[in-house]
Amino acid sequence: MDTIAVMDFGGQYSHLIGRRIRNLGVYAEVVSPRRTKDSLEKIDDLKGIVLSGGAASVYSDDSPKPDREIFDLEVPILGICYGHQLLAYMTGGDVESGDSGEYGTTLLKLSDRKTRLLRGLDEDEEVWMNHKDRVAAMPEEYLTVASTESSPIAAFVDSSRQRYGIQFHPEVTHTSKGGKVLENFVISICKASRDWNPTDLAPGLVDQARDYIGNRRAIIGLSGGVDSTTAARIVGKAIGRDLTAIYVDTGLMRQGETESIRSTFEDSALELEILDRKEEFLEKLKGVEDPEEKRKVIGNTFIDVFTEKANSIGAEVLVQGTIYSDIIESGSTTHSDTIKSHHNVGGLPEKVDLDIYEPLKDLYKDEVRRIADSLGLPGEIINRHVFPGPGLAIRIVGEVTPERVEIVRAASYIVEDELKSAELYEDVWMGFAVLLPVKSVGIQGDLRSYKYPVVLRIVESEDAMTANFARVPYEVLERMSTRITNEIDRVNRVVYDISNKPPATMEWE
């Protein structure tokens, strides 16, 4: 399978480069900047390399830099933003701090429209920029093909060695012809074939799991969502009954979750154990208000439960359904910032006695859904809304108490139920309720009430990295509001969250 390696220097959008390339039908793998020339050469059918953006300055001593030898590889290389500067800097050019940065939409003037990389772009093209440093000089054989007001060398080409640099970001949608630039690079310059389909990955993932786990025993924590269910199916195919699936009832699950898990897996060959640990989780969360602290408490408790179980059955491997966006947001890629510690990645204790195996860690949600479909998982699981590992705990702002859990569980159920009745459930990424730790005055049955407000959070997203609040019809919102205040005694007010991500996140914690 033809592959493009995307070297990740920690830019906010590095992951998007890989995603856009895969959307062209070409397999892209995001790789560490520490990969050497030799190790890159081992990638089967490597057709090209993209150097991503990043926040550092190439001329500072501690900035991430690749092995100089990678520039000797025979494949085309495209540098984007920091990668553009790096390519110039490490191959004989120079980079300096600009007088002023360029942030946002910027006018790019093409001086050579024949260059293959920029074919299809206009002479004046709006592109999206996010930088202060700029390329100041280049080796002789490089040709400047575009400039902006602050970046005289905004794009360069060395067509004999197939080296390309662009200061702008083609991967973000604000660069309207960005997709065309990536397509020019991947298809016409690297000559990669569009032979990739995520469903093709399933057999390889099964083989990889078999190779990795060998004849050891493994356990997997099932949450009922598509990620862990798909991971369980893949590893189950690889090692059969050496895999034990564990569903931990934390008391923080959605309404009816435990029953639904039981019925989904009733007839499957997978060995499933349901552990009731409600009291333990709630006890440990007593008095904890900080969101990161909540995640860590829950992550640690999960690991305690898993380790205890693994020891009792002699399992050495813990399989996790972590996907790529979980890793990015937990700050676990080399240079990215920690937005939230997702409990199945960043929220884990530093030392875990089990060997962790994450078969889906390079995939996006929509890709996991396609693989799940190819494995024959039921539509109900595939299309189910995402549910975070820490569960309802991160949908209660402030301390988690049994009363608050009950309220938020019941309210979330109503949100999902009404979305289904309005046939909107599958159009949105997630719909749920959040409980705020304040009270407000209301009037119910001629009497003054002083109760909690509930926030409705319904968002649309493609891959969880960005999101918009959903434009749900008022009638549907009104039905949710009426049901929540009628059916849940401790709530007298319902509000709708109209924030996008960024600047907000989907969950409130």
- Catalytic positions, please? 81, 169, 171
Whether residue 201 contacts residue 209, with contact meaning beta carbons closer than 8 Å, is answered with no
Distance of closest approach, residue 224 Cβ to ligand XMP, in angstroms? 12
Distance of closest approach, residue 252 Cβ to ligand XMP, in angstroms? 12
Q: Which is nearer to ligand XMP, 54 or 391 (CB)?
A: 391
User: Whose CA is closest to 431, among 396, 472, 400?
Assistant: 472
- What are the φ and ψ backbone dihedral angles of 468, each rounded to 5 degrees? -120, 150
Judged by CB under 6 A, the stretch of 52-60, 85-93, 204-212, 386-394 that binds ligand XMP is 386-394
CB-based contacts of 327, cutoff 8 Å, min separation 6: 333, 342, 345, 361
Binding of residue 22 to ligand XMP (CB under 6 A): no
Judged by CB under 6 A, the stretch of 6-14, 90-98, 397-405, 498-506 that binds ligand XMP is 498-506
Binding of residue 501 to ligand XMP (CB under 6 A): yes
Burial of 29 (0-12, 13-18, 19+ CB in 10 A): middle
**Site for ligand XMP (CB under 6 A): which residue of 66, 236, 388, 431?**
388
- Spatial separation of the C-alpha atoms in residues 284 and 400, rounded to whole Å: 10
Token pair recorded at residue 96: 């300096």
Token pair recorded at residue 14: 């590095």
Quick note: the x/- pattern for ligand XMP over 292-331, rule CB under 6 A, is ---x------------------------------x--x--
Q: What is the DSSP string of 254-318?
A: PTTHHHHHHHHHTTSSSEEEEEE-HHHHHHHHTT---HHHHHHHHHHHHHHHHHHHHHHHTEEEE
- Spatial separation of the C-alpha atoms in residues 464 and 15, rounded to whole Å: 12
- Spatial separation of the C-alpha atoms in residues 33 and 221, rounded to whole Å: 32
Site for ligand XMP in 439-478 (CB under 6 A): 464
- What is the total count of residues that contact ligand XMP (CB under 6 A)? 17
Binding of residue 340 to ligand XMP (CB under 6 A): yes
Binding of residue 369 to ligand XMP (CB under 6 A): no
Burial of 48 (0-12, 13-18, 19+ CB in 10 A): buried
Q: Which is nearer to ligand XMP, 26 or 467 (CB)?
A: 467
Binding of residue 412 to ligand XMP (CB under 6 A): no
Binding of residue 343 to ligand XMP (CB under 6 A): yes
Binding of residue 391 to ligand XMP (CB under 6 A): no
Distance of closest approach, residue 291 Cβ to ligand XMP, in angstroms? 10
Binding of residue 261 to ligand XMP (CB under 6 A): no
Distance of closest approach, residue 298 Cβ to ligand XMP, in angstroms? 8
Token pair recorded at residue 170: 């083609």
CB-based contacts of 42, cutoff 8 Å, min separation 6: none
Site for ligand XMP in 414-443 (CB under 6 A): 430
Binding of residue 342 to ligand XMP (CB under 6 A): yes
Conformation bin of residue 331: beta by default, left when phi > 0, alpha when psi is -120 to 50: left
Binding of residue 145 to ligand XMP (CB under 6 A): no
Q: Which is nearer to ligand XMP, 254 or 343 (CB)?
A: 343
440 - beta bridge partners?
Answer: 451
Distance of closest approach, residue 2 Cβ to ligand XMP, in angstroms? 31
What residue ranges bind ligand XMP (CB under 6 A)?
295, 326, 329, 340, 342-344, 386, 388-390, 430, 464, 501, 505-507
